[in-house]
Structure formats: C-alpha cells, structure tokens
C-alpha cells in the first residue's frame, strides 16, 4: 500500500478531491458538445480522463456517478487495485508519448496532485491541450508552497525538510503557488476559469480568535476579506479549473 492509499484510508477524500468530484462527478452532462442539442447533452454520461489515479479511490466515485472513465497510472501495483468498470487503463506515465495517440476527447481531464511529480509539466499541458476540445475542463490540484504555514516554517525555523507526503513530499520535482500555476497554464495554451482553495490557519488567527469581541469581529468581518485578498498566503492547497483558449 503506497502512502497516498494510507492517507485516504485514514482521512478519506480531501476537501479538494471532494470539490473535484462535485465538479466532474455528477451523473449527467449539462454541457453542449459537438453540436448536440441540450436534451441530448443532458442525457450523455460525462467522460473523464483521470491522470494519476493511484489505486482508484476517486475513480470509484466517478464510476458510481455513472461517468465513463479512462485512467492513466504508472504504478502497476496501483493499477491492479483499480475498480471494475474503467473503460480503458493506460499503465504508463502521462509523460510517455504512447499515451496521447490513444486518448480521445473528454469532458474532464483530472490531475489531482500529479503535476508536481512530473519531469516536464509544461510539455504535458501542451500535449493535453491538443487532445482537448473547447468544451473540455482541465482540473488540476496542488499544494501551495507559499501558504502561511510554509512561510512561517521557513522564517522561524529555516526548515525545508522533505517528508513522505504533504507540501514537501520527497517525490515532488516542482513547487507551485496560487500565482505560478495559472502562469504555467496560460503559457501552455490554457485559460484559467476558476481557482478554489483550502484555507490554512492564517497569521495570528489562533491568538486573535481567543480575544473577546476582537475574535468575533475577525471571524465575521475580516476573515473572508483577508482570504480573498491574500489567496497565496491563505490557501494551503488549491484547485484550478482551466479550459482551452479560443483563438
């Protein structure tokens, strides 16, 4: 059992993974694709390409919601644990050129905590763009290296020790922020539609929350405005929804 399976078994799906399922895992497709009328589109099951499925804990949820799922997963042991019902399984890395000739058009391309593990993520994003249609939604989730927890750790401890999981996962080859991932997507030909974040503890939040009246004012009037203004400080993990740019 790999570390990601262990985390899932202990904590279940993360808030970001739940958001991905909310966006892409609903039963029917309400979009309009390839000239379909609205009624036809609503009756068509969503097609999902899940890149980096691990043993399939999100895959299973997609299938339960009647999605048509293709999986790209390099880990052979994880592939062996995938649930029944996956349409096609590519036991390859998404950086392997062999994958792209077999991919079709999808409603959703999912890369949940995958991009940071790739050798050349920009190249992969450009290749996925060629597969995508203008209706395809690309969903990428990542930890934010610039969140307050990491800044505090570096500032007060000077600590940048790699771990088995989390922001400083020892298998991460790249680190991203709420600012730098959208920039990478844009230069790769994608348009950022939305950024959704999981909020970490904010600077002095614990102290302020314990002060009578001031704590209440902070939570009611300041907290949401602060998070919205300083996303790169506030988000410990985030999801970017992107689509193909119209020329």
What pLDDT digit, counting tens, does each position of 170-197 carry? 999 999 999 999 999 999 999 999 999 9
More confident of the two residues 20 and 209: 20
More confident of the two residues 227 and 203: 227
Assigned domain for 221 exists: no
Assigned domain for 180 exists: yes
More confident of the two residues 158 and 114: 114
The domain total for the chain is: 1
When the pLDDT of each residue in the chain is averaged and rounded to a whole number, the result is: 89
150 CB-near residues (< 8 Å, 6+ apart): 144, 167
Assigned domain for 218 exists: no
pLDDT band at 246 (very low <50, low <70, confident <90, very high): confident
Nearest of 63, 191, 49, 188 to residue 112 by alpha carbon: 49
Q: Which domain holds residue 197?
A: 3-201+232-244
Assigned domain for 196 exists: yes
Mean pLDDT within 39-45: 58
Assigned domain for 211 exists: no
The fraction of the chain above a pLDDT of 70, given in percent, is 92
With a cut of 60, say whether residue 35 has pLDDT above it.
no
Q: Is residue 41 classed as helix, strand or coil in its secondary structure?
A: helix
Of 117-131, 157-171, 201-215, the poorest mean pLDDT is in 201-215
Q: Where are the alpha helices (DSSP H) in the chain?
A: 3-11, 15-24, 38-43, 57-64, 76-79, 121-131, 148-152, 180-187, 205-209, 214-217, 223-229, 231-234
More confident of the two residues 9 and 69: 69
Q: What is the CATH number of the domain that holds 128?
A: 3.40.50.150
Residue 226 to residue 234: CA distance in whole angstroms: 8
Whole-number pLDDT of residue 36: 54
Whole-number pLDDT of residue 38: 47
Whole-number pLDDT of residue 159: 87
Helices and strands (H, E) in the chain, number of each type = 12, 7
More confident of the two residues 159 and 128: 128
Residue 109 to residue 49: CA distance in whole angstroms: 5
More confident of the two residues 219 and 77: 77
40 CB-near residues (< 8 Å, 6+ apart): none
Assigned domain for 197 exists: yes
Assigned domain for 170 exists: yes
With a cut of 70, say whether residue 39 has pLDDT above it.
no
Assigned domain for 207 exists: no
Residue 169 pairs in a beta bridge with 163
The C-alpha angle 185, 102, 42, rounded to 5 degrees, equals 70
Mean pLDDT within 211-233: 89
With a cut of 70, say whether residue 32 has pLDDT above it.
no
């Amino acid at each position: 059992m790999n570390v990601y399976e262990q985390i899932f078994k202990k904590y279940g799906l993360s808030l970001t993974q739940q958001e991905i399922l909310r966006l892409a895992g609903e039963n029917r497709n309400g979009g309009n694709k390839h000239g379909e009328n609205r009624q036809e589109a609503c009756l068509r099951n969503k097609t999902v390409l899940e890149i980096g499925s691990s043993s399939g804990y999100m895959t299973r949820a997609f299938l339960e919601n009647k999605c048509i799922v293709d999986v790209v997963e390099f880990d052979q042991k994880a592939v062996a644990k995938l649930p029944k019902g996956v349409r096609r399984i590519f036991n390859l890395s998404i950086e392997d050129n062999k994958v792209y000739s077999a991919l079709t058009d999808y409603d959703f391309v999912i890369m949940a905590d995958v991009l940071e593990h790739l050798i050349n993520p920009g190249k992969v994003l450009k290749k996925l763009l060629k597969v995508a249609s203008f209706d395809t939604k690309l969903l990428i989730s990542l930890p934010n290296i610039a969140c307050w927890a990491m800044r505090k750790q570096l500032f007060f401890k000077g600590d940048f020790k790699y771990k088995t999981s989390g922001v400083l996962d020892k298998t991460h080859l790249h680190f991203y922020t709420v600012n730098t991932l959208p920039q990478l997507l844009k230069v790769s030909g994608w348009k950022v539609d939305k950024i959704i974040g999981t909020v970490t503890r904010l600077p002095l939040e614990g102290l302020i929350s314990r002060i009578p009246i001031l704590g209440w004012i902070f939570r009611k009037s300041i907290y949401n405005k602060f998070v919205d203004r300083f996303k790169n400080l506030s988000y410990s993990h985030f999801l970017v929804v992107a689509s193909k740019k119209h020329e």
